[in-house]
Structure formats: C-alpha cells, structure tokens
Amino acid sequence: MKMIKTLIASTVACAALIAPMTQAAPIEIKFSHVVAENTPKGKMALKFEELVEQRLPGKVDVKVYPNSQLFSDSKVLEAMLLGDVQLAAPSLSKFQKYTKKLQVFDLPFLFNDIEAVDRFQKSDKGQELLTSLEKKGLMGMGYLHNGMKQLSAYSPLKVPADAKGKKFRIQTSDILAAQFEQVGGIPLKKPFSEVFTLLQTRAIDGTENPWSNIYSKKFFEVQPYITESNHGVLDYMVVTSKEFWAGLPEDIRPVVAKSLKEAIAYGNEVAGEKTRSDRQAIIDSPRSEVLSMTDAERQQWVEAMKPVWKQFEHEVGKDVIDAALASNQKKS
C-alpha cells in the first residue's frame, strides 16, 4: 500500500513538472509588408496584432515586419506558400504572376476616384476577384485602401510630352509598363525598398505613388515636382495561404478572421485620413511643388494612356473592366 501511495505521489509530481513544458506553443502569424508603420497598411497590421493578442492571449502570437524587413513583395507570396510567412498585403499590381484579373486596378484613368474603387471592390465582381488566387494556394481576405496615385519627377509633368525619354520606377506590372510607354517614358520595375535611393542618385527620373507612400518614404524630398494626377490606384489585397488557414484550430480561425476584418476597416479609415494629411504636409513642405492639371491637360494624358485598356482587355477580361467602369456611377 505504501509503495502504491509513493508511486501515485511521484506520478503527480512528475505530471506537475511536465505540464508547463507540454503546454501548446502559441501559433505564430508573421505579417510581412514593405511600407512604413505610419501608413494605412502599417497601422492596419499593428491593429491586427493588437486585436488578436487581446482576444487570443498566449494562443496566437502576431509579429509584424514592416519596411521590407522580412521579405520584399517579389518574394513574399512564394514565402507564404512555403509557410515562412502567414499574412501579407501586397499592392494589387504585384499579383500578375498569380492572376491577370487583378490588373484591372492598374488600368490608367479607369476609376474616377477612391470611392469608385471602393464600390468596385464591394461589388460582386470585386468580391469574386478575392478568390482569383485560390488555384495558386492563396486566399484573398479583403481589400485595403492606400489611395490614388500621383506622378512625380525631377521636372514638371504637365502634359504627356513632358514624360518622354524619362525613366520611371514602376511596380512589377506589365500594364504599368505599357502606361508609361504610351507617353514615351522608360519604365523600370524595381522593388519599393530601392525607390528612394534610385531617386536620390537620379538613376531614375520619376515614379508614381499615393500621397501616404510619397510622404512616409520621403520621396517628396527627392522629387521637386509632384503632379496631382490621380491617374490610377494603389490598393492592397490582404492574403494568406489556404494551407495555413485550413490548419488553424476551429476555435481560433473565426477570431482571427474577425480581427482581420476589423483591422482592415480601421486601415481604410486611416487611408482616408492619411491621403488628406500627407497630401497637405507635402504641399506645405518647401521640398517639392505640387502641380495641378487643367481639364485640357488631363484629357491629353487620358487620350495617351487609355489605349492600354484595349491592349490588356483579353487578359483582364471585358466583364471585369465593364464592372469596374460601372462603379464610377454613384448608386442613388
């Protein structure tokens, strides 16, 4: 009897010692992105981290890596499929290798403004595009705004002829390349992390980006002229891998999904605020001059760049382009 009691006591003691060691380690979610923290995407990622860690303490550990610290956009999706990163939100221009349909967002002068982009993203066709990466093992979790793009350069860009012979950094999109070729520019696909240095050393003449990227990455300090062109959009798709998502425990997945949804809604609010405040900060800065276009000047850019729509219609899909165009009409 004494021997049995001793055996039970030592079993209990061993179990108590082992328990903390066998407690499941938190699920790690690495969120990699290329922009600064003080941007719509940077703030959205931090909000997601905050919400998940509040709601799932000790169960899920979110780590955000901004400023291309972990992966550039050209590597992040491959890394996601290998399980080295779980969340990212590349610009919609960077999915060309995975689907051509998302390139609708690159067509110049297609959307009148960010409200039209928002209406399209919420439409049936826009929502359908969130699933366009599934065959490649990726899941679109939602769209996130940054804003409409502005042209910038070392010399004023008022009419298309001003772009002739100038080197422009672009994202990895053939439509964006065609857009600059239409005005006689020389497009160069380069990673976001290199843009400041390329501009500063004058290896390139200009670029296109929304106000928040121009401000947070200090492009306005090395681009004396910024033309308020609103000629295209730079928004994001928040993505994860199908395998990672399916592997999340049943009690964790809905909480992560809810937190992501709320963080995206917050990021979209930030995008609106940053578009206004960063634009104003650049206007107020002595480092660069913000130029506006007259209607006639704008019409010249539209006429020069619009042939790109037809050129890429067979890849993007006429149905997708038509749905995007329809979103320019406000619903009454």
Contacts with ligand SIN by CB under 6 A lie at: 34-35, 91, 146, 171, 192, 209, 213, 234
Name the residue whose CB lies closest to ligand SIN.
192
Q: State the nearest-atom distance from the C-beta of 280 to ligand SIN, in Å.
A: 20
Q: Closer CB to ligand SIN, residue 168 or residue 225?
A: 168
Q: Which helix (H) or strand (E) holds 198?
A: helix 195-200
- Which lies closer to ligand SIN via its Cβ, residue 195 or residue 256? 195
Start-to-end Cα distance in the chain: 85
Q: How far apart are CB 249 and ligand SIN at their closest, in Å?
A: 31
| Tokens read off for 251 | 């009690």
3-state helix, strand, coil in the chain (%, to 5): 50, 20, 30
Q: Judged by CB, which is closer to ligand SIN: 168, or 266? A: 168
Strand (E) or helix (H) holding 181? helix 174-181
Instruction: Count the neighbouring beta carbons within 10 Å of the beta carbon of residue 234.
Output: 22
H-helix or E-strand spanning residue 291? strand 289-291
Nearer to ligand SIN, 195 or 320 (CB): 195
Burial zone of 291 (CB within 10 Å; 0-12 exposed, 13-18 middle, 19+ buried): middle
For tokens 């931090």, name the residue. Answer: 46
**Shortest reach from residue 105's CB to ligand SIN, in Å:** 12
- Buried b / exposed e along 123-134 (16+ C-beta atoms within 10 A): eebbeebbebbe
Measured from the CB of residue 37, what is the shortest distance to ligand SIN in angstroms? 13
**171 vs 275 by CB, closer to ligand SIN:** 171
The minimum distance between CB 93 and ligand SIN, in angstroms, equals 7
Name the minimum Å distance from CB 171 to ligand SIN. Answer: 5
Q: Round to whole Å and give the CA distance between 268 and 276.
A: 13
CB of 171 or CB of 229, closer to ligand SIN:
171
